[in-house]
Structures are given as structure tokens and as C-alpha cells.
């Protein structure tokens, strides 16, 4: 098990939640992940990271798989202009590589926002620290664990 996936597992277990991690195989998109998980595309929680242009910090947006983050709306809820986060910033802030950023188990605290669409489901699925693994979680548990602010930031 990778160090990144182990951090996700520990974070879930520390919160008293099951660490039910599933392999995705070659799935690369939210639609492909949904097919593997046997769920709707919007039940896939995508982790989208931007760089705060004023703060220099990474900002995490957890959005439903079928939604796209609107940069102007995201900037408004973040309270600063946002730009593209590079791989170095993402790795330094979260400890994860692009494509496998989990919503939990980060190396450093991160300011996070949660798409209200995700709260409409009993179970959602998120990256488990690698581009090839996901885990199921109740949206309320994800909200609690991440401390993410519910916000409308999608197009």
C-alpha cells in the first residue's frame, strides 16, 4: 500500500469510519470511476485544487463528478483570485500527486469548499490517495472530516 493511501486509511479509521478502499483499474475520468463504483457520475467527489493568487496556498474544491468548477465563482467563495495549482504546490500542501488527491489525509491543513450537490446522496466516492483507488463515504461524514464550507462554485 502506498504511503498516500495509508494516510487516507489512517484518517478514515481515526474518524471511526470504515476504510473500504477499492481499486479503479484504468479508470481516469469521473464517468469511468462511477462505472467501476456502480454509481451515478455525480456521486464521484472530484478534488480540484487551485492556487490562491494572494495567499500562495492551495485551495480545495470538492465537486460532484458531473459538475465543473467555475473559476470566477470559486474565486468569489475563496475570497481571492485563483489560478492553476502546479504539481509542486499540490504535493507540498496535500502530500498527494495530481489525479489522486484525496479529500482527507493531507499533510497540511487546507481551505476547502464542498459542492452542495454531493450532499444529495447517501454515499459518494472519493480518491483514496492514488489515481487508481477510491473509497465510499457518507456526504455528512466527508463534510465533517474536511471541515469544508458548503458553497456554490460550479458552472
Q: What is the CATH number of domain 3-150?
A: 3.90.960.10
**Local confidence pLDDT in tens for the 155 residues of the chain:** 899 999 999 999 999 999 999 999 888 899 999 999 999 999 999 999 999 999 999 999 999 999 999 999 999 999 999 999 999 999 999 999 998 999 999 999 999 999 999 999 999 999 999 999 999 999 999 999 999 999 999 99
Q: What is the pLDDT, as a whole number, of residue 28?
A: 85
pTM: 0.95
**Residue 44 backbone phi and psi in degrees, to 5:** -90, 120
Say how far apart CA 126 and CA 135 lie, in whole Å: 6
* Contact (CB, 8 A) for 110 and 60: yes
* Contact (CB, 8 A) for 36 and 22: yes
Q: Return the domain boundaries, the chain.
A: 3-150
Amino acid at each position: 500500500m502506498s504511503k498516500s493511501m495509508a494516510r487516507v486509511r489512517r484518517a478514515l479509521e481515526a474518524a471511526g469510519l470504515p476504510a473500504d478502499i477499492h481499486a479503479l483499474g484504468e479508470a481516469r475520468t469521473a464517468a469511468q470511476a462511477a462505472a467501476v463504483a456502480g454509481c451515478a457520475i455525480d456521486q464521484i467527489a472530484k478534488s480540484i485544487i487551485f492556487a490562491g493568487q494572494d495567499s500562495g496556498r492551495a485551495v480545495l474544491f470538492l465537486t460532484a463528478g458531473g459538475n465543473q468548477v467555475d473559476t470566477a465563482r470559486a474565486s468569489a467563495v475563496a475570497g481571492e483570485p485563483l489560478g492553476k495549482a502546479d504539481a509542486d504546490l499540490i504535493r507540498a500542501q496535500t502530500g498527494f500527486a495530481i489525479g489522486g488527491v484525496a479529500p482527507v489525509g493531507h499533510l497540511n491543513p487546507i481551505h476547502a469548499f464542498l459542492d452542495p450537490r454531493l450532499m444529495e446522496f447517501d454515499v459518494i466516492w472519493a480518491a483514496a490517495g492514488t489515481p487508481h483507488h477510491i473509497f465510499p463515504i457518507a456526504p455528512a461524514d466527508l463534510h465533517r472530516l474536511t471541515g469544508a464550507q458548503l458553497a456554490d462554485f460550479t458552472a
